Structure 1
Amino acid sequence: MKYNYKAKRIYLALVAVVMLAATSCKTEKIVPGSEAPKNIAGNWRVIKATRNGTDLTSIIDFSQFRINFTDKGYSLVNKLPFLVSKDGAFTLDDPQYPYKITFTATGDKPVSTPFTYPIVNGKRQLSITFSPGCANNTYVYVLEKAN
């Protein structure tokens, strides 16, 4: 009889441990935080430019070229080869995670191009890839907000 009593106690203790273990593991649902929409409003200058992988920054003076983005529009200052040649409107394919920017110059059809928005050395940059005319020439402009 003593043996049955001990076996029952051990059995009940094991059942209690298993029950505690089973109920103590809760699955938590992790909800990712919502990312703020990207705001590119401001005056941007070219800090690096390449054509087909060749650095143009030291060959061409980009110091006066600017793209000024407002809420939905843009204007070009001291124009250089670019995706569009006139001021107009722009849209991002996704306000939170943009991968493409579309320029619509006044009176022209919309033109879309790849777009990245990284933070480099603590500063936000824009990287725009485009081919203005000849598909054999691919330009990449890396822009940073002008002071």
Structure 2
Amino acid sequence: MRKIYKAHKIYILPILAAIIMLASCKTERVLPVTESVKDISGSWQVIRATRNGTDLTNIIDFSKFRVNFKDGAYTLVDRLPFLVNKDGAYTLDDPQYPFKITFIATGAQPVATAFTFPIVNGKRQLSLTFSPGCPNNSYVYVLQKTN
């Protein structure tokens, strides 16, 4: 009789352990998190610029150049080679996940460019890639919000 009891004990323990493990698993309902709308309002200055991979930051004085964004409009201060040469309006392709920004200079056709909006060292940056005029020249401006 003891042998039968021991044999049942050996089978019962793994079955009980499996039942307890299955009962402890609960399905959590994960709600999707909505991404906030990206706000680029403010004054932005160039902190790094390249043309065809060559660093222009120490060659050209970008210290006075600014792009000011406010309420769907932009203004340029101390113009330099840029995607547009007049003030106007701008739009983002997606307000939550922007990958492209379109500049609409006053009296000109819309011009779109690649757009990234990363946080680097705790500060938000804008990165614009464009080719004004000659398609053989590719510029990358990395801008940071001024205080």
Aligned position for 1:37: 37
TM value normalised by structure 1: 0.87
Deviation, 1:16, is 3.4
Q: CA deviation at 1:71?
A: 2.2
Q: How far off its partner does 1:28 sit? A: 2.3
CA deviations on 1:38-96 (whole Å, 9 max, x unpaired) are 11100111111111111112121111111000021111111111111111111111212
- Aligned counterparts of 1:13 and 1:120: Cα–Cα separation in 2: 55
Tell me the equivalent position of 2:138.
Answer: 138
Gaps of 5+ in 2: none
Structure 2 distance, partners of 1:78, 1:39, is: 23
- The CA distance in 2 between the partners of 1:113 and 1:103, in whole Å, is 8
Deviation at 1:20, TM superposition (A): 2.0
Partner of 2:73: 73
Alignment match, 1:48: 48
How far apart are residue 12 of structure 1 and its match? 5.1
Shift of residue 7 of structure 1? 5.2
How many residues in Structure 1 have an aligned counterpart in Structure 2? Answer: 147
Most deviating of 12-21 and 44-53: 12-21
Query: Which contiguous aligned blocks of 4+ residues in structure 1 show a shift greater than 4 angstroms?
Result: 1-14
With 132-141 and 7-16 compared, the bigger mean Cα shift is at 7-16
Structure 2 CA distance, aligned partners of 1:6 and 1:24?
27
Q: State the match for 2:58 in structure 1.
A: 58
- Following TM superposition, by how much is the alpha carbon of 1:3 offset from its aligned partner in structure 2, in angstroms? 5.5
Q: Corresponding residue for 1:113?
A: 113
Q: TM-score, normalised by structure 2?
A: 0.87
Give the match for residue 88 of structure 1.
Answer: 88
Map 1:16-31 → 2, pairs under 5 A: 16-31=16-31
